[in-house]
Structure 1
Amino acid sequence: MRMKPSRNLLLGMCSMLALGFLYYSSGRISLRGWGHKSLYDKQGFLLKLDATLPLELMYKYGNISEGVCKPGFAAAKMTAIYPKFTKLAPMFLDPNYKRFSRIGDYLPPFGVKTQEKIIDILLSATNMYGLGEELDSKSCKTCIIVGNGGILANKSLGQKIDDFDVVVRLNEAPVKGFEKDVGSKTTIRITYPEGAIQKTERYEAESLFVLSAFKSLDFKWLRHMVFNQRLRSTDGFWKSVARHVPREPSDMRILNPYFIQEASFKLIGLPHNNGQMGRGNIPTLGTVAITMALHNCDEVAVAGFGYNMSTPHAPLHYYEKIRMSAIKESWTHNISKEKEFLMKLVKAGVIQDLTGGICGAGC
């Protein structure tokens, strides 16, 4: 007499078959995808990088004369080595900034969460959200980010820097007295309260003052600057801050924090830390500015970037005598991981490094 298989036995066999199928399928999927994945690193960048143009870009840019601005070039080259790149991200916050849900989900410095009310007040007061009519109307813009590195000294790059449509400077790096090496033109100066120029006479006659906010207090500070109010307390800042910015509200901007978020979590691959500012997950302002330029400029160059730790007696900055050896391991930045990212951009020809400090002999 034949026994009917029990219900439990049938269920057990079905479960085993299902698990076996899933295991087999996942193995096939991973094997099928392995070849594709191996082309890219864990951040999503092409592993094999060189400055040659892909065929489709060769047709687009190959016949453009030397020195003529190439429309969309930086974004096209970036997308070729990093397919996840999408260009849409304006330089500065405007009244429609809430459409960028990615910045609404994070507290400063990675977003605007809890700061919407004060940002709305600031944007209403400044009432200007672009580079200005002339630059905004340009069909092709060349941009250069001028870093503060000592490598700029005695290079006589001033005229070349001034030839760019948009010249971006960082924090309190001076221009006066250093024009031969760093140029005299400043389109925008990106900074935060502790990094801003404190002596009002050192400000350029014409430039946009752009806040990169790293904490909620930075927006309150900017409100004092925009409305020309006396700053009664500097509690909460890690060093002394500017107490007056000699700029009209219409010349002040707020940098889109999306660039800090993208540079940190996506491009460099710094710790997410639940979206909070923490150890080693804040990109330097220079890298944030480069990220901004990739989204908003057609061609991007840099100068004054790169620390060479093998030359401890070389000047750290072009405008002072502090030596390279003064650099200590930063709590907030990860200089080595950041350098890896910037080297990818230079090696692939996404950006041009006029002073050669990012790669040295390594590209």
Structure 2
Amino acid sequence: MGLLVFVRNLLLALCLFLVLGFLYYSAWKLHLLQWEDPNSVVLSFDSAGQTLGAEYDRLGFLLKLDSKLPAELATKYANFSEGACKPGYASALMTAIFPRFSKPAPMFLDDSFRKWARIREFVPPFGIKGQDNLIKAILSVTKEYRLTPALDSLSCRRCIIVGNGGVLANKSLGSRIDDYDIVVRLNSAPVKGFEKDVGSKTTLRITYPEGAMQRPEQYERDSLFVLAGFKWQDFKWLKYIVYKERVSWTHNIQREKEFLRKLVKARVITDLTSGI
């Protein structure tokens, strides 16, 4: 009888231990564990490895984004007129709201990408961690990696991004859009037949798999195709296209929208039509 009681108590203790262990693991996995110091701070680091304060979130973004420029930027660009090209403005503001941002790497990946160790530390969309083999395979059959010499020679470039949500219809902004040095169109944003509203110039067409135009003839012959790699599947998709292999999958674009809204709110980019 005593042996049965001992075995029963042992089994109860083991069950309790397993339940507590499961609850502890689940809470940690879901970031709901409350047994830590409530005053503790999750540390973030900038591109130089320096610790950021509590005003930044876990990813390193400034928590309170508003339309006010940091004091040093406000002073530096105070004498520039409205609409004037401001050298280094976008990268300086991006660094202010996301200190991990670094600009030593080229605008587009080329066959020297392996030497840029910093961008290999972060997963897409902030880096290329884990994508080395895919990128190497893509670049091995890619002829051009850069802007045209004419654009590269400009000391300052004014850029505008045009989406494909239809918000430019009947706005007659075409000539204003074409005044920019670089016109970036997103995904399947149309041009032909809508020049009065959207302009006729296309310098870059940036897309990801789900938003890309499906037929080669839909792309402008004098524009550059740019893949925005938000996840590892995007790099795989481009490899399939380059090597003429078959692909069939889609994903939720909410992550990309959230990222663009942060950039607009921080004035890194300007949403002229309130379409984001």
What is the TM-score of this pair, normalised by structure 1?
0.53
**1:52-107 alpha-carbon deviations (Å, 9 max, x no partner):** 22221122100112222001111111222222222233232222111134449979
2:166 equivalent to 1:150: yes
Contact 2:172 2:198 in 1 (8 A): yes
Of 40, 50, 70, which aligns to 2:86?
A: 70
- From the superposition, tell whether residues 104 and 116 of structure 1 become closer, same or farther in structure 2 (CA, over 3 Å): farther
Match of 1:219 among 239, 243, 257: 239
**Which of 259, 272, 276 pairs up with 1:354?**
272
Aligned pairs (5 A) from 1:288-303:
none
Q: Distance in 2 between matches of 1:347 and 1:116?
A: 32
Return the letter of the residue paired with 1:165: D
User: Shift of residue 40 of structure 1?
Assistant: 2.4
Is 1:235 matched with 2:246? yes
Aligned residues of 1:175 and 1:183 also touching (Cα < 8 A): yes
AA matched with 1:357: G
**Shift in Å, 1:144:** 1.7
CA change 1:180–1:220 in 2 (3 A) is: same
Q: What secondary structure does 1:190 align onto?
A: strand
Partner Cα separation in structure 1 for residue 135 and residue 166 of structure 2: 39
| Matched residues, number | 225
User: Which residue of 160, 172, 175 maps to 2:191?
Assistant: 175
Q: In structure 2, what is the Cα distance between the partners aligned to 1:199 and 1:129?
A: 19
Matches within 5 A, 1:90-239: 90-101=106-117, 102-103=119-120, 110=128, 112-115=131-134, 118-123=137-142, 126=143, 128-191=144-207, 195-198=212-215, 200=217, 202-212=218-228, 214-216=234-236, 218-223=238-243, 235-238=246-249
CA distance, structure 2, for counterparts of residue 350 and residue 87 of structure 1: 14
Deviation readout 1:212-244 (Å, 9 max, x if unpaired): 561435324324xxxxxxx5xx53334xxxxxx
1:196 partner amino acid: M
| Structure 1 residues not aligned, in runs of 5+ | 1-25, 224-230, 239-330, 359-363
In the alignment, is residue 333 of structure 1 matched against residue 240 of structure 2? no
Residue in 1 aligned with 2:58?
Answer: 42
Contact between 1:192 and 1:211, CA under 8 Å: does it hold in 2?
yes
| CA displacement 1:258-307 (0-9 Å, x = unmatched) | xxxxxxxxxxxxxxxxxxxxxxxxxxxxxxxxxxxxxxxxxxxxxxxxxx
Moved more, 40-49 or 183-192: 40-49
Q: Which amino acid aligns with 2:238?
A: D
Q: Distance in 1 between the 2:203 and 2:228 partners?
A: 16
Q: Whole-Å Cα distance in 2 between the matches of residues 97 and 52 of structure 1?
A: 35
SS in 1 for 2:131: coil
Letter in 1 for 2:252: H
- Kept after mapping to 2: 8 A contact 1:105/1:113: no
Q: CA RMSD in A?
A: 3.5
Contact between 1:211 and 1:222, CA under 8 Å: does it hold in 2? no
Partners of 1:104 and 1:113 within 8 A in 2: no
The equivalent of 2:21 in structure 1 is none
Per the normalisation by structure 2, the TM-score is 0.68
Once the 2 structures are TM-superposed, how far is the Cα of residue 178 of structure 1 from its aligned partner? 0.8
> Following the alignment from structure 2 to structure 1, what is the Cα–Cα distance between the partners of residues 216 and 253?
30
Amino-acid identity (%): 54
Give 2:246's aligned amino acid.
D
1:342 aligns to 2:260 (yes or no) = yes
- Contact 2:184–2:204 (Cα < 8 Å) also in 1: yes
In structure 1, how many angstroms separate the alpha carbons of the residues matched to 2:98 and 2:88?
A: 15
RCO comparison, higher one (Cα < 8 Å, 6+): 1
Deviation at 1:152, TM superposition (A): 2.1
Write the distance in 2 (CA, Å) between the matches of 1:193 and 1:48.
32
Contact 1:168 1:189 in 2 (8 A): yes
Query: Counterparts of 1:96 and 1:158 in 2: how far apart (Å)?
Result: 38
Answer yes or no: is the 8 Å Cα contact 2:206–2:225 preserved in 1.
yes
